[in-house]
Amino acid sequence: MANKIHILGADVANKIAAGEVVQRPASAVKELIENSLDAGARHIAIIVREAGKTLIQIVDDGEGMTAEDALAAFQRHATSKILSAEDLEEIKTLGFRGEALASIAAVAQVELKTRQSHADVGALVRIEGSEVKEQGPAATEPGTSIAVKNLFYNTPGRRNFLKTRQTELKNITDVVTRAALVFPGIGWQYVSDDEQLLDLKPKDPDGRMADLFGDRLFRALIKVEEHSEFLHMSGYIGRPDFARKSRTEQFLFINRRPVVNRALNHAVFQAYEHLLEKGSFPFYALNLELDPHRVDVNVHPSKLEVKFENESAVYRFVLSAVRKALGAHDLMPSISMNAVPSDIGLDARLRFIPPPAQTDLADVAGRAGDSADVDPDIVLRRVERRIGEEAVQRDGEATFPSDLHQTQRPAPARILPLRPMGAGAEQHPVSGQSPIWQVQNKYILSQIRSGLLIIDQHVAHERILYEKAVANFENNLPSTQQLLFPQTVQLSATDYSLAKELIPHLEKLGFDLKPFGKNTVIIEGIPADVRVGSEALILQDVLDEYRNNEHTQTMDARDNLAKSFACKAAIKAGDRLNTSEMLVLIDQLFATQMPYVCPHGRPIVVKITVEELDRRFGRT
């Protein structure tokens, strides 16, 4: 029988590869820009016509090529960037597959002019549908100019699949923007149908951000800079009030390579918790640097996907870096000036006040409240410092010892001492006058320098317990109180299997549980924050809440559990608090990473400024 298999010719093979590498004009632009960057260009111009359909031209001042290389560059698997398979483990350039030029030349008419700076004369190559039409010397500037005409002229299927000109242009603009964003030191020019869309001079990162997005957005950005042993992340995140209704303003880079990564996207989103309205997405532009050994960029021909050696570690790093950056800024809603008086609290429009001059989180956290010595003045000054108000020095008072604990490691917030339910606040008379009150057994009012803070006691405690639970998961230092009389709890079959599954996590929270069979568990110890006597109820509540969360959101199990626990173990509206309990609560709250929203997204603190009160009473 005759054999049936034959090897495809280079032109067919290149066309097939082009299907993956060059899906649309924007992907050709991306590949060509990457080549210019890899060639060490300091200035890159991008010129397109009809959204890249008739012309894409990239001109750079990079290292250029010899005449032989200029021809070889169009061969499939022709690259100067890697030599061996081992090199794939350690890719430092943006390109490495050696197929972009071959693919583009298979589906377009390409003219390449290039010259190395020391060479007297440059080289020209003209190639159409993988066929070399012309080659020879050329008079040209040092660097490389490549013109791609009539993309997909010989693949009508592809051409017909292109979206509207507007959409294709937007895709190209997006590619150029991303590159300009993460390479601020390079000059960029971008021209579409003779209209100059971008003309960016080399700048520092801040300057480039401002040039790209305008001063207004730039001022709404929070800078992020975070190191760990293996990772370095830098960039910008948007203040929550600058969130958008779509994800288009989310820029993620790994070693300055634009990537799409759902997990890290989720990590950023998660860090905002519910600072964002439903359906809105934060602005971010973040570049993550890590050893190329630890990330595989050879996942897909488009190079937009990466695989991490340890994705969950990277996830946690991004989550905590973004959370920290957000927490270091005052995102506290304050009652808006134009709210109708009777609507205070209901109609309070969230207004984000500028960041504090200097907030040292570690310093604040290091002094997380100690119930033994709660001096209202000290506590309230910590709060003021945390939210960026200078501590006021009143007559006859010692200055707050600001450097007292600065060298201490941040400690997880201590436990709020809770009295058995029903005990009255009168038991703890506080000498003198404290600028702190409980209202309706629900809210804590406290005077600070700039006005009045109103704190929702339940969500405040929820935030404290949540961060403590998360810290326990990470550090493995739960505080358990052993029960004198272990409690037997009968659960439903589903709850029983859920509890069994969650036991390792519950233990980290401080529960000491033993499955006893027949849908029964024995509670031998409970977290230090849980009131003795309510343990069975709290366990049941936590399981319920866990299951609710599981359906509505995709959270990882530990985070879910931390939230459920915090919600159920926290003091409730209606619980009476005495002054020192309130002070401890406030102190611990402002030692958390994010004192302004609870893990479910409700606001914790509202501020009314003196100016606002003055305005309402016509004192302005």
Point out which residues bind ligand ADP (CB under 6 A).
31, 35-36, 39, 60, 62-65, 73, 78-81, 95-102, 144
- Based on CB atoms, which residue is closest to ligand ADP, 31 or 211? 31
Binds 98, which of ligand ADP, Mg ion, none (CB < 5 to 8 A, cut-off by type)? ligand ADP
- HSE (CB half, 13 Å, CA atoms) of 178? 28
Minimum distance from CB of 291 to ligand ADP (Å)?
21
Minimum distance from CB of 42 to Mg ion (Å)?
18
- Based on CB atoms, which residue is closest to Mg ion, 57 or 270? 57
Amino acid letter for position 233:
M
- Based on CB atoms, which residue is closest to Mg ion, 95 or 238? 95
Binds 47, which of ligand ADP, Mg ion, none (CB < 5 to 8 A, cut-off by type)? none
Minimum distance from CB of 455 to ligand ADP (Å)?
57
Minimum distance from CB of 18 to Mg ion (Å)?
13
- Based on CB atoms, which residue is closest to ligand ADP, 97 or 386? 97
Residue nearest Mg ion, Cβ-based: 95
Contact assessment for residue 114 and residue 63, using Cβ atoms and an 8 Å cutoff: no
- Based on CB atoms, which residue is closest to Mg ion, 95 or 412? 95
Non-local (6+) Cβ contacts of 503 within 8 A are 513, 515
Q: Exposed, middle or buried: residue 596 (CB in 10 Å: 0-12, 13-18, 19+)?
A: buried
- Based on CB atoms, which residue is closest to ligand ADP, 96 or 317? 96
Q: Which of 144, 124, 137 is nearest to 61 (CA)?
A: 144
- Based on CB atoms, which residue is closest to ligand ADP, 187 or 282? 187
Q: Which of 251, 248, 246 is nearest to 236 (CA)?
A: 251
- Based on CB atoms, which residue is closest to ligand ADP, 62 or 369? 62
Question: Under rule CB under 5 A, which residues in 20-59 are in contact with Mg ion?
Answer: 35
- Residue 40 structure tokens: 């060490």
H-assigned helices in 6-155: 10-21, 25-38, 67-72, 100-106
- Based on CB atoms, which residue is closest to Mg ion, 61 or 99? 99
Binds 287, which of Mg ion, ligand ADP, none (CB < 5 to 8 A, cut-off by type)? none
Binds 80, which of Mg ion, ligand ADP, none (CB < 5 to 8 A, cut-off by type)? ligand ADP
Binds 78, which of Mg ion, ligand ADP, none (CB < 5 to 8 A, cut-off by type)? ligand ADP
Question: Under rule CB under 5 A, which residues in 76-105 are in contact with Mg ion?
Answer: 95, 100
Q: CA 18, CA 12: separation in Å to the nearest integer?
A: 10
Minimum distance from CB of 36 to Mg ion (Å)?
9
- HSE (CB half, 13 Å, CA atoms) of 69? 14
Contact assessment for residue 486 and residue 512, using Cβ atoms and an 8 Å cutoff: no
> CA 186, 22, 244: angle at the middle one, nearest 5?
60
Minimum distance from CB of 294 to ligand ADP (Å)?
21
H or E element, residue 43: strand 43-49
How many whole angstroms from its chain centre is CA 546?
25
Binds 273, which of ligand ADP, Mg ion, none (CB < 5 to 8 A, cut-off by type)? none
Minimum distance from CB of 9 to ligand ADP (Å)?
19
Minimum distance from CB of 99 to ligand ADP (Å)?
6
Minimum distance from CB of 82 to Mg ion (Å)?
11
Binds 97, which of ligand ADP, Mg ion, none (CB < 5 to 8 A, cut-off by type)? ligand ADP
Contact assessment for residue 500 and residue 515, using Cβ atoms and an 8 Å cutoff: yes
C-alpha radius of gyration, the chain, whole number: 31
Asked whether position 62 contacts Mg ion by CB under 5 A, the answer is no
Contact assessment for residue 290 and residue 230, using Cβ atoms and an 8 Å cutoff: yes
> CA 559, 563, 564: angle at the middle one, nearest 5?
115
Residue carrying structure tokens 């634009």: 258
The residues that bridge with 236 in the sheet, in sequence order, are: 223, 285
Binding site for Mg ion (CB under 5 A): 35, 95, 100
